[in-house]
Amino acid sequence: MDAINWSELSFGYMKTDYNVRCYYRDGKWGELEVSSSELLTIHIAATCLHYGQEAFEGLKAFRGKDGQVRVFRMDENGKRLQASSRGIVMAEFPVEKFEEAVRKVVKLNERFVPPYGSGASLYIRPLLIGLGAQVGVAPASEYMFLVFVTPVGPYFKSGFKPAPVCIMRGYDRAAPLGTGTIKVGGNYAASLVAGRKAQENGYAAVLYLDPKEKKYLDECGPANFFGIKDNSYITPGSNSILPSITNKSLQQLAKDMGLNVERRSIEVEELATLEEAAECGTAAVITPISQIDDLDEHKSYVFSKDGKPGPICEKLYNKLKSIQCGDEPDPYGWVTILQ
Ligand code: PLP
Ligand code: COI
């Protein structure tokens, strides 16, 4: 292959050597299969195409200074994929099999795990889709699990530099009692119009409000939200946001650094009192927010004027990265070293 310029990678797709697949037929999951094809051949009436029976995950593998490859919290992604499957009536993929598939696909594509210190990582994308044909609205009886990998750089162009986001009340990514808490493609389809509008206006992302009252902060299109004030890490408690594994990890790290952790409703106006604000997620890692423009109320909440991340965001970022790469011990058992 042509040499990859690891430090210049963006968050995009690159062909790798193999993907791993598994089929659910006659009420049971089969064996893991290895494929070198980037293509799928599926039925024209497959439920994933018509009725959105599709859920996905995102996790990362990192290469350490010691050359070893570490995967971050894959059991959590396996469990969340099961929750997503229950949410849209798909067959649940066993967590142990999920972990086996992840280990296998990373091993098979080990030459694509970016070198230590490059700032890049190997993004792992598991996918579960309804394959069976239906024309009436009903769940499929056949499913496919698939996992591919691709080396990636930062999700937001800014990387670990503060970026602006906006609030627009005219759009929701999920309904109040809808699919916001699970990782299904429909949520992302629903975010595309607002996302494009935000980008056209120079924003990295939309910060959605709760879809019922439009009073509280929910999350960003591809990431959770947190703020820092008075030695507290504050993140929205909401039943229309994705339970982010990165956010859960940061809450633990914040607690162990001596911060208070508050998971609760955050009114939009409370933004005025925050000292730092950021997005967090597998792809976003921690992306500090420079300012939040409320486009309906014509108000701006500014967190960084000098283009630098706030001190707590920086501390959390360094701690998380060090555990992921193996620079620091992992007292939480979050990391799986691939043998
Ligand atoms: N929220 C949304 C809508 C996401 O798509 C993601 C990405 O997975 C997250 C939050 C962050 O979740 P995690 O930290 O588990 O990647
Ligand atoms: C992730 O952080 O893994 C995501 O899924 C966000 C986005 C790429 C959809």
Residue having the nearest C-alpha atom to atom 6 of ligand 2: 222
State in Å: Cα 308 to ligand 1 middle: 24
pLDDT in tens, 235-273: 999 999 999 999 999 999 999 999 999 999 999 999 999
Range 116-131 average pLDDT? 97
Range 135-142 average pLDDT? 97
Query: Is 104 among the catalytic positions?
Result: no
Where would I find the H helices in 267-331? 311-325
List of E strands, 230-275: 232-236, 260-264
Average pLDDT, the chain: 97
Q: Which of 60, 183, 248, 299 is catalytic?
A: 183
Residue having the nearest C-alpha atom to atom 5 of ligand 1: 222
List of E strands, 99-215: 121-130, 143-152, 163-167, 205-209
Is the pLDDT at 187 greater than 80? The verdict is yes
| Structural contact between residues 223 and 156, judged by C-beta atoms closer than 8 angstroms | no
The domain covering 163-325 belongs, at the CATH homologous superfamily level, to D-amino Acid Aminotransferase, subunit A, domain 2 (3.20.10.10)
pLDDT for position 220: 96
pLDDT for position 60: 98
Entry pTM: 0.97
CATH number of the 6-152 domain: 3.30.470.10
Query: Is residue 157 very low, low, confident or very high in pLDDT (cuts 50, 70, 90)?
Result: confident
pLDDT in tens, 193-245: 999 999 999 999 999 999 999 999 999 999 999 999 999 999 999 999 999 99
- Closest Cα to residue 126, out of 145, 104, 150? 145
State the CB neighbour count (10 A cutoff) for residue 83: 14
Torsion of CA 208, 214, 215, 220, to 10 degrees: -10
- The domains of the chain are located at 6-152, 163-325
Q: Ligand 1: does its nearest atom lie under 6 Å from the Cβ of 222?
A: yes
CA distance 221 to 234: 19
Q: How far is CA 192 from CA 79, 98, 207, 291, in A?
A: 26, 29, 13, 21
Query: Is residue 1 very low, low, confident or very high in pLDDT (cuts 50, 70, 90)?
Result: low
| Structural contact between residues 303 and 276, judged by C-beta atoms closer than 8 angstroms | yes
